[in-house]
Amino acid sequence: MTRAAMPTATPLVLLLDKPLGLSSNAALQRVRRMLGKPKAGHTGTLDPLATGMLPICLGEATKFAGHLLSEKKSYHCTLKLGVETASGDADAPVVCELPVPALDADQVVAALARFRGVIRQTPPIYSALKRDGVPLYRLARAGETVEVPEREVMIHRLELRRLAGDEIDLEVVCGSGTYIRSLGMDLARALDGVGHLSALRRLWVSPFEQRPMASLADVEAWAATAGEVTPAWLIPVDQTLCSIRAITVAADDVLALCQGRAVANLIGAAGSVRLYTTDGHFFGLGEVTDDGVLRARR
C-alpha cells in the first residue's frame, strides 16, 4: 500500500470550464503552465467539441483522481437528426444520411424510457479508450477497423428539454464510462433515423453539483495574484471524498501511519476512512480491518 504523507496543506482540485475546441489534455497543460507547471491530472476526458466541467487534480491530489473518475456526471446535449458521423459528433466523416423522421414530443419521451437504468452501449471508435496501449481514435484516423465491445453503463436520468425540427436537446445524468455520443446515435436509431451530437456540455461531476467553474482566463487572473484568495472553484481534495467516513487520529498514531505501521484497537466499522489530525488536517485514506486495525492506504 502507498503510505500516507505527513500532513501538509491539503491539495486542491480545480474545476475548469473547458472551452470549445481544446482537448482535455491541452486544457490541462495550459492550466499547468499558468500555475508554474505543478504535477496535475484531469479526471474524465471531454472531447474537443465538448465544453464544461473538467476537474483537474493538482499536486498530491492526483493520488485521489480515481475516486472522481467513478462519480456521476451530468450533461446537456443537442442531437441533430439526419446525419450520422463516424465519431458521433461533428468532428468526423459522415457515414450515413437519412430523412429526418416526423416526430412529436410524446414519441421522443417514449423512446427515452428505453435508455434509462442499466443499458448496453458500444463506445465510439473515435474515443480515448485504448487497444494494446494505443488510443482508439488514433487507430480510427489511421484507417484501421477495430471491433469495440459493448459494455454496460448506468443512465440515472434522461429528459427531453427541447424538440425543434431536426434537433433534440437532452439532459443526462449518467454513471462512469458512459459515452453521450453513443447514447445520441442509439436514440436516433430508436427513432427510425440517424443522428450525431452537434453540442455537448458537461454540467457537473459529483460531488460538485453546486460548485462554480473557472474559465482559463479566471485561472490566469488568479495565478497573477499569487493565489492570495482561494476561489470557490478550487476545492480541497478531501471534499471530493465525502462519501468516505472521516476519523480523527491522535498525533502518535499519525506518525505511525505515515511510517507505514498499523494502528490497533480502533473503534468503529471496518472499511475505508479519511484520515485527519486532531487539528483538522487531512492526510490521506486508510483501511480499517474487521478486527479494528487501521493501515494507511494512500
Catalytic residue among 47, 89, 186, 253: 47
First to last CA, the chain: 7
Is the Cβ–Cβ distance between 120 and 114 less than 8 Å?
A: no
| Nearest residue to 44 (alpha-carbon basis) of 177, 215, 238, 203 | 177
* Residue 38: exposure state from Cβ atoms within 10 A (0-12, 13-18, ≥19): middle
126, three cell numbers: 473515435
User: Is 47 one of the catalytic residues?
Assistant: yes
| Residues noted as catalytic | 47
